[in-house]
Amino acid sequence: VPRVDLADLRVAVSTGGTREPIDPVRYLGNRSSGRQGAALALDAAGRGAEVTLVAAHVDDGVLTEASTHPRVQIVRVSTAAELEAAMTDAAATADVVAMVAAVADYRVAAVSHTKLRKEDGVPRLELTTNPDILAGLVAARRPGQTIVGFAAETADSDAELADRGRRKAQRKGVDLLVVNRVGWESGFESPDNRVLILDAAGDAVGEASGTKRAVATAVWDAVAALRAPH
Ligand code: C5P
């Protein structure tokens, strides 16, 4: 019997990596595959939620299953600015917001409208700060809305990871922070993941490892527990 414990919930999930243009053919990007966010969208939809999946750049095939699910609506974006607009829109009617996307912290200050040419010499790219989209969503939180942040951290030990996670959870104002360790060989691009789930105070309320779908299930379990009347 399928669990439909998220039925009647509207959920907004962001995923993938933003691309910040340099010129018409080049961009600043990151290695996010979009798999964890797509898994969250599918798991929520499978549990009865109506899902808006705001997808920046993702690897090939990552959205295939979500694109045919009757309860998942996909909105494609590219830059952080586009992702911010789409998530702000989706969050306005969402009960739960999960910011899984790897948003570029910086964009090129003056995007060139013509291709930069070698003849012009080594380009000096001046960067400017992108808005912290999650912070904006937290500031605009609707009554009763649950906000989930993600944090990819490099750490030398589990203790360091938990410590960084605790401080970030307290700083971000989110209801749940899902922390995962990334490095050259883990986290991004991988089919598997291992996470710690922290509450607003930074205390661990769950952990999960395995497929990104298994991690998604654990995250929604934590959301459901948080939202359960007690
Ligand atoms: O501080 P840090 O970048 O590690 O926070 C990660 C969380 O913040 C993720 O949920 C990510 O989607 C979100 N984020 C954001 N806007 C940014 C950078 C990160 O919403 N400019």
Q: Which residues contact 222 (CB under 8 A, 6 or more apart)?
A: 176, 197, 205, 206
User: Does residue 184 carry a pLDDT above 90?
Assistant: no
Residues serving a catalytic function are 30
State the average pLDDT over residues 202-209.
94
**Ligand 1 centre from 121 Cα, in Å?**
34
43 membership: H or E segment, kind and range: helix 35-46
Task: Take atom 19 of ligand 1 and give the residue whose Cα is closest.
Answer: 103
Residue with tokens 């966010």: 37
State the average pLDDT over residues 190-212.
91
Mutate to test the pocket of ligand 1, among 130, 134, 219 (most ligand atoms within 8 A of CB): 134
Query: What pLDDT was estimated at residue 189?
Result: 67
Query: Do residues 60 and 124 lie in contact, with contact meaning Cβ atoms separated by under 8 Å?
Result: no
Query: Do residues 222 and 176 lie in contact, with contact meaning Cβ atoms separated by under 8 Å?
Result: yes
Q: What is the DSSP letter of 17?
A: B
Distance CA(21)–CA(112), nearest Å, equals 9
More confident residue, 165 or 187: 165
Question: What are the Cα distances from residue 29, in Å, to 19, 21, 150, 152?
Answer: 5, 9, 18, 16
Atom of ligand 1 nearest to the CA of 137: 20
> Ligand 1: residues within 6 Å at CB?
80, 99, 101, 103, 105, 130, 132-134, 149-151
Q: Which residues contact 187 (CB under 8 A, 6 or more apart)?
A: 152, 180, 181, 193
Query: What pLDDT was estimated at residue 230?
Result: 75
**Ligand 1 centre from 119 Cα, in Å?**
37
For 28-37, 57-66, 148-157, which range has the lowest pLDDT when averaged over its residues?
Answer: 148-157
